Structure 1
Amino acid sequence: MDLKINGKTAVITGGDSGMGLATAKLLASEGVNIILSDKTDKELQKAAEEVREFAIKENKVIAVTADVTKNEEVLQLAARAKEEFGGVNMLVHCAGIRGAAGDFLSLSDEDWYKSIDVDLMGAVRVCRAFIPQMQEKGRGRIVLIASENALQPYQEESPYNACKAGIINLTKCLSRAYSKEGLMINCVSPAYVATPMTEEMMVQLANKRGTSKDKAIEWFLENKRPHIAVDRRGQAEEVASVIAFLCSERASYVNGSNYRVDGGSVESAFG
């Protein structure tokens, strides 16, 4: 399917791995210029090289380090986009952390502030920086990453749950504010997807249980994510396909929506 986005420009945060990297590769293969961003330069440059293998014709892939908890770095990222491409048409915000987890009473203010700073305020900062560029162009696509946790919260991940619920609400708020200016703003809620974040979780679980990572994954699916109907972890590319659609002209009547890419994990029909 032609997504009709050849020649457009996208900035992708959290782009050096996981869903961000998979999305960058897919959009590059559709002829999109890519601004790949993450915190660590070495990993980011390696990821950019991978994405360049998918780029077509004269389309460009550039890597720009930025920490979404630092507003000045986000503004520098936006300035670079303006300098290189005259602004962006798409923003895909994948940067995020699991943050502190455990019993609610054991979590400190600092635990909460760190999750909020990255997972919620990070989205606020990048949207605030890039919406003006889309307004100038009269067209834009923003895709934020929420989570199944926003709809089906897990008791040991209360900061993450709350921040991701905030992402869904922020998405709806922004979509109502800017759709008349040509901006379509949506979010995607993945479930248990194979990314560096969940890999780290599984290594920690394997060490805690004294077992292999594969056995830890099996245990986690059976005991912690029993509602995943397909009974496996998702792949980053499966989420990227939905993100790419939402960035495309094919999604011209999709606005303020939350797309669950969860293998059936959310138990409720109306979540």
Structure 2
Amino acid sequence: MLIDLSGKTALVTGSSGGIGLAAAKGLARAGARVVVNGRDTERVETAIRAVLDAVPGSAVSGVAADLADAAGCDRLLQAVPQTDILVNNLGIFGPKPFFEIDDATWERFFQVNVMSGVRLSRAYLPKMMEAGWGRVVFISSESGLNIPADMIHYGFTKTALLSLSRGLAKLASGTGVTVNSVLPGPTMSEGVKDMLKDMAAEKGVSIEEAGEMFVKSERPSSVLGRPATVEEVANMIVYACSKEASATSGGALRVDGGVVDSIVP
């Protein structure tokens, strides 16, 4: 399959690293004009250089804006008033015992993981529908289906994204715009690598070996038996953004390595 997104603009939130940056590179490789986003100007500029290093000659720009509140989303919308593709990738995670999660933490996770996508979709989706073509992708997680007991606040937000994307897909029915969720499982992003450092040091193993140990102990249903790479997840995101995915809408596209023990996608 040859994915060609020439002439399309793709905005990827939270793309200064991890899955977001890998998706930005993949979309640039497919010919899209890519806009990367992060909170910090320096990290955004570094991400732009990373995309250009991976895809020389690509059209890539960036916007530094913290999408954790409405003001940050407004700054991004002023800089990028229209896009053909929106990848709502921004998200935070971290284990914490349920009884120690205060209201402020619940609110922070909801604002970052859910409301950033709500605000941007509310702004961009009508223009896509009017144009007769568009792609919106929410980065959910297998944790939205397989809620981890040590990250209930995180799993809750990822479940919310599944509802949001399904509802928006129905809203955009017949317009040429598709809306989908992509559900990664454990993935070797920078954040996950940081989380695995202590385990690797304690066991005297590499980060990669610690990742396999984590999957086998904490996600024993995994068919893959290891964390995915960010590139493997990005491949699914690029497909969901493609013209070839025109009949894929309202879907929950799993890149979870088989962690969710179900024969139904």
Determine which of 90, 93, 98 is the counterpart of 1:98. Answer: 93
Contact 1:29–1:56 (CA under 8 A) maintained in structure 2: no
- The two structures have a TM-score, normalised by structure 1, of 0.90
CA offset at residue 80 of structure 1? 1.8
5+ residue gaps, structure 1, are none
1:36 equivalent to 2:36? Answer yes
Partner of 1:161: 155
CA contact (8 A) 1:68 1:126 kept: no
Alignment correspondent of 1:63: 62
Q: Take 2:159 and 2:240, find their aligned partners in 1: how far apart are those partners?
A: 20
Q: Greater shift after overlay, 73-82 or 145-154?
A: 73-82
Aligned partners of 2:229, 2:178: CA distance in 1, in Å?
Answer: 25
After TM superposition, what 4+ stretches of structure 1 lie above 6 angstroms from structure 2? none
Equivalent positions of 1:237-248 (< 5 A) are 237-248=231-242
1:103-114 maps to which residues of 2 (within 5 A)?
Answer: 103-114=97-108
Structure 1 residue 170 displacement after superposition? 0.4
Question: Quick one: which amino acid aligns to residue 31 of structure 2?
Answer: G
Paired residue secondary structure (1:194): coil
Q: In the alignment, which residue of structure 1 is the partner of 2:47?
A: 47
Shift of 1:124: 1.0
Shift of 1:102: 2.8
Question: Are 1:139 and 2:138 an aligned pair?
Answer: no
For residue 213 of structure 1, report the CA deviation from its aligned partner.
5.3
Asked whether the equivalents of residues 228 and 265 of structure 1 are also in contact (C-alpha less than 8 Å), the reply is yes
Alignment partner of 1:148 out of 117, 122, 142: 142
Determine the C-alpha separation between the residues in 2 that align with 1:46 and 1:159. Answer: 31
Cα offset for 1:18? 1.0
Distance in 2 separating the partners of 1:210 and 1:26: 35
Cα RMSD after superposing both structures: 1.9
Aligned residues: 264
For the Cα contact (< 8 Å) 1:103–1:156, is it kept in 2?
A: yes
How much identity, in percent, do the aligned residues show?
A: 31
Task: Give the corresponding residue for 2:123.
Answer: 129
Question: Scaled by the length of structure 2, what TM-score is found?
Answer: 0.92
Tell me, yes or no, if the aligned pair for 2:5 and 2:30 is still in contact at 8 Å: yes
Paired residues of 2:35 and 2:63 also in contact (CA < 8 A):
yes
2-side partners of 1:199 and 1:244: how far apart? 24
Distance 2:238 2:248 in 1: 13
In 2: Cα distance, 1:179 partner to 1:76 partner: 29
